[in-house]
Amino acid sequence: MSSQSSRSVYLDHAATTPMRPEAIAAMTEELARLGNPSSLHTAGRRARRVVEESREQLAEVFSARPSEVIFTSGGTEADNLAVKGLYWARRDGSRRRVLTSAAEHHAVLDSVRWLAEIQDAEAVWLGVDADGGVRPETLRAAISQGPELTALVSVMWANNEVGTIQPVSELAAVAHEYGIPFHTDAVQAAAQLPVDFAASGADALTVTGHKLGGPVGVGALILARGTEPIPVLHGGGQERDIRSGTLDTPAIRAFAVAAAVCAQNLQDEAKRLTALRDDLVRQVLAVVPDAVLNGPPTGDRRLPGNAHFSFPGCDGDALLMLLDANGIACSTGSACTAGVAEPSHVLLAMGADDVRARGSLRFSLGHTSCQGDVDALAAVIGEVVDRARRAAAR
Ligand SMILES: Cc1ncc(COP(=O)(O)O)c(C=O)c1O
């Protein structure tokens, strides 16, 4: 095993993916220009035009109306606005329940927890199956415990750790049978799957720039007409008073350009990534036969670029550091809380035990991934796992 491979291999596109050249060019051009889109003078009106054209471009990509696109600082803010804002707008007497899956991203999970701990909400956690899926019947059973008590349902489109694609339109339809608004976090889905807001039936949908080749720090909450969250941020009244704050014209333009480039060859790219991902899974299992692929089997219930394994007898952090020493970047499922690595809440919700959850790694592919990346991983993973096992046994 080489101590440092000659080239670096990036298998962490679900954390952030390189900016697309078209987005870098658009952003660079815009950074050199002046104008607050809210200003009435010529420079302001020019910036406003850029923002509105970008809004139209994004609306087209996600099959929404331009007026439905509310710009935010990213996925975390859009999730907070959806969950807190819709809860506040709908809270009424005993209507205090928020239904969400136990496998959500922390931006949703912790917003719901906060509403329950600090405010007067009641969090209802929807169980997931062994693949990380939320079944429509699970949602129906939870709602039927008290439809009139339920303020909001939030279930992500695709899971950021194990890549499970949820039956979003079925879930939205169940929520709507009871007149309950449905939010979905489509941050991971938007880079690799067609995300059609209108067809999904969702009332609110989160996307972010940096997972699809745009910059970090910009995203959007897409809100169906008539869905009006109470704002989280107050100030200048931008974005129909739903999200105050000066609009970041360069980032918004780059986000829209990246989304449009991404949408152009989405299907071919999904096929390419699926083939690469299937090869990655095959090669890893050939070298480490007792590794367990977490999440759905390779197929259409799984994000094309996602492969997530548990390696029995290993510590995920040790694996990550050993791979990093070989020039390979990936991610563990665990989150570091106050310096202590916590096992992934997603794997625990799927029924994994603490040990399996701690010994896991996510490899995620994206638009710059190639066969050489997969082969480089396959060349070292066997020895890396052996070393991690020896270290764990000591
Ligand atoms: C599913 C999901 N939601 C939300 C976020 C947060 O998005 P952002 O980094 O733009 O705040 C992420 C980022 O990892 C994510 O994967």
Q: What pLDDT does residue 11 have?
A: 98
The pLDDT, as a whole number, for residue 333 is: 64
Classify burial at 163, counting beta carbons within 10 Å of its beta carbon; exposed 0-12, middle 13-18, buried 19 or more.
buried
pLDDT tens for each residue of 84-117:
999 999 999 999 999 999 999 999 999 999 999 9
**Average pLDDT taken over every residue of the chain:** 95
Q: What's the average model confidence in pLDDT over 328-356? A: 80
pLDDT of residue 7: 76
The set of residues, in sequence order, having a beta carbon less than 8 Å from that of 340 and lying 6+ positions away, is: none
Ligand 1 centroid to Cα of residue 311, in Å, is 25
Answer yes or no: are the C-beta atoms of 250 and 345 closer than 8 Å: no
6, pLDDT greater than 50 = yes
**Site to substitute for ligand 1 among 79, 108, 111, 187, most atoms within 8 A of C-beta:** 187
Region 339-361 average pLDDT: 86
d(C-alpha 387, C-alpha 229), whole Å: 51
Centre of ligand 1 from the C-alpha of residue 245, in Å: 20
Which of ligand 1's atoms lies nearest the C-alpha of 74? 10
Q: Could you list the active site residues?
A: 336
Q: What is the pLDDT of residues 216-255, one digit of tens each?
A: 999 999 999 999 999 999 999 999 999 999 999 999 999 9
Mean pLDDT of 177-193: 97
Q: Which ligand 1 atom is the nearest neighbour of the CA of 15?
A: 14
Instruction: Determine the residue of 160, 216, 252 to mutate for testing ligand 1's pocket, defined as the one with the most ligand atoms within 8 A of the Cβ atom.
Output: 160
Is residue 1 predicted with pLDDT exceeding 70? no
Please give the distance, rounded to the nearest whole angstrom, from the Cα atom of residue 163 to the centre of ligand 1.
Answer: 13
Looking at residue 4, its pLDDT comes to 46
Name the nearest CA neighbour of 318 among 213, 390, 214, 243: 390
